[in-house]
């Protein structure tokens, strides 16, 4: 059974309406937030099909920083892309790329500018190790020599991001992030505890 994120949205909204709201839901020192996002877009090799990017995150409110709060956390992102192209009448190339991103993030949460107690806005940087691998699934004619898998373009990365979380209760909210991780745009849910 395949679950599509848009089909879960009405269920999430219904549950959030049943959860009582008691005060300010913005990020503060000592707060912990777990998030799950589904992403679109990215700077990847040309491809004929792609899975949505999946991102898991965790953040802890460490200290006050000026007019905002500093959060430190982790990030795991995963995505696959398939690249197919014809080579003559005999066969079609079929390569699959896998992207795994493991990161440490720091974010500055600043909310004085908007005055909405349910809205948490932030921006930050992520230091990550990007693991890129590929696998050749092509069925070649007999006698063709090929490499079946390998790694490519793996290494360290430093990227920025901007985000917002809107809390329907003190604990549960929707999240939007822009920036380079496993995707350029991530939509998801956040749970504060």
Q: Which domains does the chain have, with CATH numbers?
A: 23-192 (2.40.160.20)
Confidence of residue 181 (pLDDT cuts 50, 70, 90): confident
Predicted model pTM: 0.77
Distances in Å between the alpha carbon of 80 and those of 4, 19, 151, 157?
Answer: 17, 36, 14, 19
Confidence of residue 107 (pLDDT cuts 50, 70, 90): very high
Taking the C-alpha atoms of residue 72 and residue 104, their distance in angstroms, rounded to an integer, is: 8
Tokens of 119: 């809205």
Classify the C-alpha dihedral 177-183-188-189 as positive or negative: negative
Counting Cβ atoms within 10 Å, is residue 109 exposed (0-12), middle (13-18) or buried (19+)?
Answer: buried
Does pLDDT of 86 surpass 80? no
Does pLDDT of 14 surpass 80? no
Does pLDDT of 146 surpass 50? yes
* pLDDT (0 to 100) of residue 22: 45
* pLDDT (0 to 100) of residue 4: 47
More confident residue, 114 or 90: 114
* pLDDT (0 to 100) of residue 1: 44
Instruction: Over range 63-90, report the average pLDDT.
Output: 88
């Amino acid at each position: 059974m395949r679950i599509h994120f848009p089909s879960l949205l009405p269920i999430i909204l219904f549950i959030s309406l049943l959860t009582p709201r008691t005060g300010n839901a913005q990020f503060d020192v000592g707060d912990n937030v777990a998030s799950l996002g589904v992403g679109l877009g990215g700077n990847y090799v040309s491809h004929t099909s792609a899975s949505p990017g999946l991102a898991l995150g965790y953040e802890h409110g460490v200290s006050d920083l000026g007019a905002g709060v500093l959060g430190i956390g982790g990030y795991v992102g995963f995505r696959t892309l398939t690249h197919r192209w014809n080579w003559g009448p005999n066969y079609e190339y079929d390569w699959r790329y896998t992207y795994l991103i493991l990161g440490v993030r720091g974010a500055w949460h600043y909310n004085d500018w908007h005055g909405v107690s349910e809205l948490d806005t932030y921006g930050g940087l992520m230091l990550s190790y990007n693991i890129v691998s590929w696998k050749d699934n092509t069925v070649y004619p007999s006698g063709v020599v090929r490499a079946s898998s390998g790694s490519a373009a793996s290494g360290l990365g430093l990227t920025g991001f901007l985000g917002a979380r809107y809390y329907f209760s003190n604990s549960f909210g929707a999240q939007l992030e822009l920036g380079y991780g496993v995707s350029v745009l991530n939509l998801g849910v956040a749970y504060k505890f």
